[in-house]
């Protein structure tokens, strides 16, 4: 359990850095350009696929780590952080707020909660 807490905290810290940095660190690493963003797959109906994938990973690790001990806290944290991190793009230079990213963040969190609950339901049977 301690390892998952460390993993969650590391991934969460990386997310915050990637979100608040005024440019694309991943774009620089992949393309050598801070203004380009790598795209894993095409977006789903105006929902950012990259953001869905990222928040599924973060949320599943967070749920695995804290669901039993701090269920309400971790769910609230994941939902609020998915919103706040995107809204911060309104004030961060060289970043732009996009509804497709916001929806991708929220869908990623909600999908993780759904998958986590389905897994727990089937595991109990």
Tally of domains within the chain: 1
Q: Quote the pTM value.
A: 0.86
Q: What is the pLDDT of residues 14-51, one digit of tens each?
A: 989 988 888 777 777 777 777 777 667 777 888 989 89
Domain membership of residue 59 as a residue range: 2-124
CB 63 within 8 A of CB 116: yes
**Alpha carbon of 39 to those of 9, 54, 98: distances in Å?**
25, 12, 15
pLDDT per residue as tens digits for the range 51-104: 999 999 999 999 999 988 898 999 999 999 999 999 999 999 888 899 999 999
- Picking from 47, 49, 28, the residue whose alpha carbon sits closest to that of residue 39 is 49
Burial class (CB in 10 A: 0-12, 13-18, 19+), 67: middle
Degrees, nearest 5: CA angle 35-111-117: 150
Please list, in sequence order, all residues whose beta carbon lies within 8 angstroms of the beta carbon of residue 123, skipping any fewer than 6 positions away. Answer: none
Of the pLDDT bands very low, low, confident and very high (cuts 50, 70, 90), residue 7 is very high
């Amino acid at each position: 359990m301690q390892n998952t807490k460390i993993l969650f905290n590391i991934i969460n810290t990386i997310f915050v850095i990637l979100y608040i940095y005024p440019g694309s660190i991943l774009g620089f690493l992949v393309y050598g350009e801070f203004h380009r963003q790598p795209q894993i797959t095409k977006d789903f109906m105006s929902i950012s696929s990259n953001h869905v994938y990222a928040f599924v990973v973060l949320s599943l690790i967070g749920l695995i780590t804290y669901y039993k001990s701090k269920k309400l806290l971790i769910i609230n944290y994941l939902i609020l952080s998915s919103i706040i991190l995107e809204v911060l793009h309104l004030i961060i230079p060289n970043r732009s707020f996009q509804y497709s990213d916001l929806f991708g963040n929220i869908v990623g969190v909600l999908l993780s909660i759904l998958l986590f609950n389905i897994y727990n339901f089937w595991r109990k049977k």
